[in-house]
Amino acid sequence: MAGQARGKVTIDIDECKGCGLCVESCPPKCLHLAAELSPYGFHPARYNGQNCTACGICFYCCPEPGAITVYRIRAKGKTFAAALGGEHAAAV
Ligand code: SF4
Ligand code: SF4
């Protein structure tokens, strides 16, 4: 079931090892493994571009620090703020 888009995620392909845990764990199924290989020879996770709820489950499932950053839409202005991961995210 697709959720309402309240966030987005970015994947650092230099950190992602293509294990697929985030893909399997995402409730609205908005992640997939890319067909292309990363510079390190993995199929990295990729955001489909819609339906992310910013729940953070993918972030907590990922075994690779720094691979996933989750952004939440700010209440005003429709801008995104890093919530989990990323250098500007709040401490978790
Ligand atoms: S934050 Fe939640 S909804 Fe968004 S990609 Fe990760 S698991 Fe899916
Ligand atoms: S869980 Fe982390 S390492 Fe595994 S595919 Fe997702 S982003 Fe890549």
Q: What is the pLDDT of residue 82?
A: 79
Furthest CA-CA distance within the chain: 40
* Mutation test residue for ligand 1: of 6, 51, 53, 71, the one with most atoms within 8 Å of CB: 53
Domains located in the chain, CATH noted:
7-84 (3.30.70.3270)
The protein residue whose alpha carbon is closest to atom 3 in ligand 1 is 52
Structure tokens at 7: 């966030």
The protein residue whose alpha carbon is closest to atom 6 in ligand 1 is 58
Whether ligand 1 lies within 6 angstroms of the CB of 73 is answered as: no
Whether ligand 1 lies within 6 angstroms of the CB of 21 is answered as: no
Structure tokens at 63: 């075994």
Helix (H) and strand (E) counts in the chain: 2, 5
The pTM assigned to this predicted structure is 0.87
C-alpha–C-alpha distance, residues 83 and 43, integer Å: 25
Instruction: Give, in order, the Cα–Cα distances in Å from 63 to each of 4, 21, 57, 72, 87.
Output: 26, 9, 12, 21, 18
pLDDT by residue, tens only, the chain of 92 residues: 455 668 999 999 999 999 999 999 999 999 999 999 999 999 999 999 999 999 999 999 999 999 999 999 876 667 777 788 876 555 44
Q: What is the pLDDT of residue 81?
A: 79
